[in-house]
Amino acid sequence: MSILFSEHAKTFHLYNQEISYIMTVLPNGHMGQLYFGKRVHHREDFSYLYETAQRPMSSCVYEDDDILSDGYSLSLEHVKQEYGVYGTTDFRRPAVEILQPNGSRICDFKYKRHEIMGGKPGLAGLPATYTEDGGEAETLRLILEDSLTGVILELLYTIFVRGGILARSAKITNEGKEALHLTTAMSLCMDLPDYDYEWLQFSGAWARERHLKVRKLEQGIQAVDSRRGHSSHEHNPFIVLKRPSADEFQGEVIGFSLIYSGNFLAQAEVDTHDTTRVLLGIHPMGFDWKLERGESFQTPEAVMVYSQQGLNGMSQTFHRLYQKRLARGYWRDRERPILNNNWEATYFDFTEDRLVEIAEKAKECGVELFVLDDGWFGERSSDHAGLGDWAANTERLPRGITGLAERIEELGMKFGLWFEPEMVNEDSDLYRAHPDWILSTPERSASQGRNQYVLDFSRKEVVDCIYEMMAKILSEAKVSYIKWDMNRSITECYSKVLPPDRQGEVFHRYILGVYDLYERLNTAFPRLLFESCASGGGRFDPGILYYAPQGWASDDSDAIERLRIQYGTSFCYPISSIGSHVSVTPNHQVFRNTPLSTRANVAYFGTFGYELDLNKLTEEEQKIVKEQIVFMKKYRKLLQFGTFYRLLSPFEGNLTCWMVVSEDQKEAVIGWYRTLSHSNLPFARVRLHGLNPDFCYEEQNTLETHFGDELMNIGLITSDGMSGQVEGCTGEYGDFDSRLYILKALPQNERKD
């Protein structure tokens, strides 16, 4: 790995064993993009990659011909750039835009100097990937200046030793004499030389998050975004560009991920000369950050991953990075506890004794963590009251959270608790004391969602108040886990303490307040396990993963619906981050009846838990649950931290299949799922991946043995009516069928023919 600078050619070459990223100082002093892709040999002069030509009726000349020695005029419209600016011969959407006192938005950022350093600097107040020693990565800081305004632009590039990873961000500092308004500040601008890509996005709505959508890039603009104040159920801050010939296992793929939890824009603009500009960052709509003299603005971090091993190769790189160098703390590398959440078991109708009764049965079945969800605080008997009053309702919990936690601990389990710290009900003591603490526009009505308002987390005193209430409970009671919920989008985004010319900062300041509260709680209670939630998957993004190593993937817990949700989520996010539970049938979201085995066989590929009252199951079902928990404990490390492969897509057919392989390739678990049964089915097999071709594997249910190369090239036979019972199979082949195949490598020369 290295970052090399050629003084003569003014080129930078960032490379490791897998990728090269090459850029240059253009003749006008701007930064130009030359190449991003598979590693190439270094050379002192890559200037041949810089191409320019006059184009009749479309080229506006930058300054004059004197800046070039080849006789061509420089038009930025036809040059690939690192951080494009609109209006100075470039008509594409810009990476940065600054409103100046005279009304102009034109900037002219020219290269001044650069720094190369080992390791990776942090981003103040923002989540970001990190290194644990200076040898894991190198970082390039480019310093550019707009001489007229005195604004300094710092572009940060970090290349990691392992994987096709490049992390990018930008910092804008006003070193001029007058205040300015930053109206666009993207984290990443990437100009690609062609548009021969398919665009993948991960979209949906509440209870059907992160469904894969694929279409061909074409001339014009293609984008996904959120303007809801959070990353949203509708779109995820993650897109993929892949070559049309690329698939899950081969071909060129580039993934773009934003480590941020608020409003975002992910966009690809293809011009009429077939080049593609990718922009990723905070959504510029409504964004306006005032920069006084000496003030700076730091953008969130964006991560690009390049893979020649197809979509699975890209995903596995993201998984390793986000699991080990984005998630942090005590729980980063630890197997996650199997939990039982009471929400779908009781909703608001519970007493302390009722909760303990549920927990006792859970303990008997092998559950390790009992979680009390909504309804334990204030006057909370429905979703109309109590939010913001974070003190136990003693009518339900006579000894408060402390007393209930002690009873759960006495059972030999850990105790977890639900909070929704960013919200307040109108019917609450907090709102009555501080009605001005909500986000709302003066002299206009304030909208409610789920009968609640959004607290103004851009205000320090609001965050301080919520922190003190939460910290008091966590200091007094034995709480090991927090489910942090957020159940509505932001409307009327206006802060009563900011002046009119800073109202465009509220959305971002709100997210900074959320991050600050997370950081303070993580610091004060370092062994606390956080699970993020926003009506399920409404804020399932890398920004939150920095503070909470797992997230509730969706409020839809139906196993068949979860096939698509978890499959789509896996394109970017590690399996250890995906909250997945077994719930009752008929399912509370789609009213579908699915076998208990299938519900578990889907939920295994995540953090795993139960969203029901186990007392209400039959004795036979309880026996099955105990077996499921034994299985999960046995294979939990492999399932949560192994290498994950997608094999058959639920977006393409009736079957879904995925697998996870241990680092040493000696164990693998394959999940196979069929949505609907059909008569007289053909023979079927699935080609596996990630195994050692020379290892002989024994399938633990049938005791059949096959070499790894057989299973990867010929395939695993999945035809109905195979000999032997398969663990996890319903026993009756029908709708919503599923199976687990467990492979273990035999000691050398122990093949059983």
Q: Return the active site residues.
A: 485, 555
Q: Where are the beta strands (DSSP E) in 100-234?
A: 110-118, 137-146, 151-160, 165-174, 180-192, 198-203, 211-216, 220-226
Q: Using alpha carbons only, what angle is made at residue 348 by residues 343 and 353, rounded to the nearest 5 degrees?
A: 85
DSSP 337: P
Residues 6+ apart with CB under 8 A from 698: 704, 705, 743, 744, 745, 746, 752
Quote the CA–CA distance of 500 and 311 in Å, as a whole number: 46
Question: What gap in Å lies between CA 406 and CA 56, rounded to an integer?
Answer: 78
Q: Are 240 and 220 in contact (CB under 8 A)?
A: no
CB contact set of 63 (below 8 Å; sequence gap of 6+): 28, 74
d(CA 18, CA 21): 10
Tell me the C-alpha distance between 390 and 400, whole Å.
11
Cα separation, 135 vs 116, whole angstroms:
13
Query: From residue 677, how far is each of 245, 643, 650 by CA, in Å?
Result: 31, 30, 14
Cis check for the bond before 586: say yes or no (omega within 30 of 0). Answer: yes
The answer to whether 511 and 458 have CB atoms below 8 angstroms apart is no
**579 near 481, Cβ under 8 Å?**
no
Rounded Cα distance between 587 and 581, Å, is 12
The first and second tokens of residue 587, run together, are 């399912």
569-to-204, 319, 540, 551, 565 alpha-carbon distances in Å: 12, 11, 9, 11, 6
**How far apart are alpha carbons 707 and 692 in whole angstroms?**
8
| Residue 24 and residue 36 in contact, taking contact as beta carbons nearer than 8 Å | no
- Which letter, b or e, does each residue of 265-292 get, where b requires 16 or more Cβ atoms within 10 Å of its Cβ? bbbbbbbeeebbbbbbbbbbeebbbbbe
Contact (Cβ atoms closer than 8 angstroms) between residue 335 and residue 639:
no
Instruction: Confirm if 415 and 408 have CB atoms less than 8 A apart.
Output: yes
